[in-house]
Amino acid sequence: MGAWHELALGFQTALQPESLLFCFVGVLIGTLIGVLPGIGPASSIALLLPFTFSLSPTSALIMLAGIYYGSQYGGSTTAILVNLPGEASAAVTGIDGHAMARQGRAALALALAAIASFIAGTIGTLLIATLSGPLARVAANFQAADYVGLMICGLIAAVVLAQGSLLKAIAMVLAGLFLGTIGTNVVTAGTRFTMGIPELIDGIGFVPLAIGLLGLSEIIDTLASPQDRSLVANRGRARLRRGEARRTLMAIFRGTALGSAFGALPGGGPVISSFAAYAVEKKLSRATPQVGSGAVEGVAGPEAANNAAAQTSFIPLLTLGLPANPVMAMFIGALIIHGIQPGPDIIVKQPGLFWGLVASMWIGNAMLLVLNLPLVGLWAKLLQVPQRFLFPGTVVLSCVGVYSLNHNSVELLVMAAFGVVGFLLRRLAFDPTPLLLGFVLSGPMEENIHRALAFAGGDQTTFFRHPIGASLLVISGVLLAIASLPYLKRIRSRQQ
């Protein structure tokens, strides 16, 4: 059967009343999970997994998938309104999204996030249907040394594209890498930099770090200068200005391409994809306002990327049996529980399940668009709530979300500490985005470095002997050299 005939079989399965019901339940739960900071799809799927035992395998996977990509939709809501990312992948969406909200364009930012997510999700679903095999083969060619090169390239790009000083951006990346090493060593299983605090054995969580650096620091900064940083109520309808429609569309397509590529790679996912898309948009930004100060492409690009990545993360899972991220590992558990062995045979032996899941993703994205667009005006009205009510409510919501992750009170102190750190970074003109990316990539980079050296018998030249990894390292060096030239010229002119 051709791909389109198989996709028709998938829609026949996905349009069954039971499949539609559990698809709707999944995307609704996912949206709520995304809005609430700290919960996340991984922990939610783990909690709900036992409830799927009585369902058919197709219904169970459709619901769990809806939770996953639905959380990518909802995560942008609080990020845009109060700079409080409900989902890790929405951390960079809040930079321009919240800036737009302060300019009275909250409804537009929310609408752009929903539309970008729908377009990217739709394209991602089509890619799964048509390119699962080729994309999976490309992903299978990546080795540990190649992933190291890819991550270094991402970090250098974050340095090059960060706001402000190059040295400050490098300092932020290094700080993020260091913070990511706190906890248990992935190789020796020994603890490091925990300062004797047992709760830090598992390391610092991304959620308390991101909420502190972005959300709480925003509140502290606003309260420190309320005459300059007061919230602006939403004004008028969600309308694009001249030229913004084209910029938005191009950002969506770029974000979708990046997200689709990163999502198909084992070890990739929505978080890295959204950071990469934001970096690209920042580099290409020429119009006013530029990315970082309330640009539409700063919202559309990352939101398209994280949703496309959420969709294409299923490619290595369904075709190779490899989890692209921790959430996909949960799906492997769900498949095994229902007596299905993940891998290439799933398409042949379970065509109804495979293509039904693919078709349900498009249906789920349509449901999410219908759910989210009518709520845009309602969410935007939150900005009209007086600060004396909004800020305490935001802090309480943050505390509940962070504590619900691991029931660990130390993480509340970590969040509060990074709230103060984020405030100081703002005042000292440090861009926290490279720190977050460094933190996200610290663990996977260390793991792949050790794995590559183990495979090569300790030979450190292995990173330059793999064509893919070596090419990425060369690109990283060129980017850093280009970014350093203006800085070196200024030093030379001062010496003269």
* Predicted pLDDT of residue 380: 64
How many distinct structural domains can be found in the chain?
1
User: 399: Cβ–Cβ under 8 A, 6 or more apart, which residues?
Assistant: 412, 415
Contact assessment for residue 194 and residue 204, using Cβ atoms and an 8 Å cutoff: no
The amino acid present at 373, given as its one-letter code, is L
Q: Which two tokens stand for residue 112?
A: 């752009």
Query: What percent of the chain stands above pLDDT 70?
Result: 81
Contact assessment for residue 473 and residue 464, using Cβ atoms and an 8 Å cutoff: yes
Contact assessment for residue 231 and residue 280, using Cβ atoms and an 8 Å cutoff: no
* Band of pLDDT at residue 456, cut at 50, 70 and 90: confident
* Predicted pLDDT of residue 42: 66
Q: What is the DSSP letter of 395?
A: H
pLDDT in tens, 40-96: 676 667 667 767 777 888 888 899 888 888 887 777 887 887 777 766 777 788 888
Closest CA to 109 of 347, 380, 358, 371: 380
Phi and psi angles of residue 191, each rounded to the nearest 5 degrees, phi first: -90, 155
Mean pLDDT of the 470-479 span: 83
Q: What is the DSSP string of 445-459?
A: HHHHHHHHHHHTTT-
CA atoms within 13 A on the CB side of 431: 23
Selected residue with higher pLDDT from 377 and 209: 209
* Predicted pLDDT of residue 21: 92
Contact assessment for residue 72 and residue 202, using Cβ atoms and an 8 Å cutoff: no
Q: Which two tokens stand for residue 134?
A: 């080729």
* Predicted pLDDT of residue 229: 44
Contact assessment for residue 108 and residue 298, using Cβ atoms and an 8 Å cutoff: no
Residue 140: give the domain boundaries. Answer: 3-495
* Band of pLDDT at residue 37, cut at 50, 70 and 90: low
Q: Which two tokens stand for residue 58?
A: 């197709």
289: cis peptide before it, omega within 30°? yes
**Cα dist. 345→9, 145, 351, 353 in Å?**
17, 29, 10, 12
Give the count of beta carbons closer than 10 Å to the beta carbon of residue 369.
18
* Band of pLDDT at residue 324, cut at 50, 70 and 90: low
pTM of the complete model: 0.68
The amino acid present at 363, given as its one-letter code, is I
| Paired residues of 184 in beta bridges | 191
Q: What is the DSSP string of 143-212?
A: -HHHHHHHHHHHHHHHHHHSSS-HHHHHHHHHHHHHHHHSEE-TTT--EES-TT-GGGTT---HHHHHII
Selected residue with higher pLDDT from 481 and 377: 481
Selected residue with higher pLDDT from 477 and 89: 477
Q: Is the pLDDT of residue 269 over 80?
A: no
Mean pLDDT of the 290-296 span: 80
Q: Is 205 exposed, middle or buried (0-12, 13-18, 19+ CB in 10 A)?
A: buried
d(CA 352, CA 357): 8
* Band of pLDDT at residue 228, cut at 50, 70 and 90: very low
* Band of pLDDT at residue 405, cut at 50, 70 and 90: low
* Band of pLDDT at residue 252, cut at 50, 70 and 90: very high
Angle made by CA atoms 457, 462, 464, in degrees to the nearest 5: 170
Q: What is the DSSP letter of 103?
A: T
Contact assessment for residue 210 and residue 436, using Cβ atoms and an 8 Å cutoff: yes
Q: Which two tokens stand for residue 1?
A: 């059967």
pLDDT in tens, 151-190: 787 778 767 766 667 788 888 888 988 888 888 876 777 7
pLDDT in tens, 120-160: 888 888 877 777 656 556 656 777 888 788 778 777 876 77
Selected residue with higher pLDDT from 268 and 189: 189
Q: What is the pLDDT of the chain when averaged over all its residues?
A: 78
Contact assessment for residue 148 and residue 469, using Cβ atoms and an 8 Å cutoff: yes
C-alpha 293: how far from its chain's center? 20
